[in-house]
Amino acid sequence: MPTQRSSTIRLRTSLFHEAAEIVDREFAADLSLDDIARRVASSRRQLQRAYAEIGQTTFRDHLTRVRMQKAAEMLSTRTLTVREVAHRVGYRQPAQFAKAFRRYQGLAPSDFRAGGRAPQALRARTEGLRPVYRAA
């Protein structure tokens, strides 16, 4: 891999951090890579490179990871229904949320809630950037 100039690295680091802040703040909104790129005054491709090189992930994986972490926090409080949690983290269809949650956590949202995962255990499970895919 060719060596990059320090100015390129600084730019991509800045783009990644700005984009990550938007995702962390607005995870429940209908966010897209193009929308975030416009908001951080960058091209789609530059932001993709920033995610790949600085964040070691993709925009979609990052958004899903943030949503799944927030969902797990909400589910562990047991005050909201799975449907309410799905809507609060940006899923219109609770079934799609349940499928994504199962992919990331390895169990259904209702089972996660029943197990009463502690926040510390939750952080340990969601540290990875990539989801856990299992054969159907």
Give the pair of three-digit tokens for residue 94.
Answer: 């609770």
The answer, as to whether pTM is greater than 0.85, is: no
CA dist 20 and 97 (Å) reads: 21
Q: What percent of the chain has pLDDT over 90?
A: 68
pLDDT at 2 over 70: no
- The beta-carbon contacts of 47-52 under 8 Å, at least 24 apart in sequence, are 47/15, 47/19, 49/12, 50/11, 50/12, 50/13, 50/15, 50/16, 50/19, 51/16, 51/19
Tallying the residues shown for the chain, one arrives at: 136
**Quick one: which of 37, 41, 26, 113 has its CA closest to 72?**
113
Residues 58-106: tens digit of each pLDDT: 999 999 999 999 999 999 887 899 999 999 999 999 999 999 999 999 9
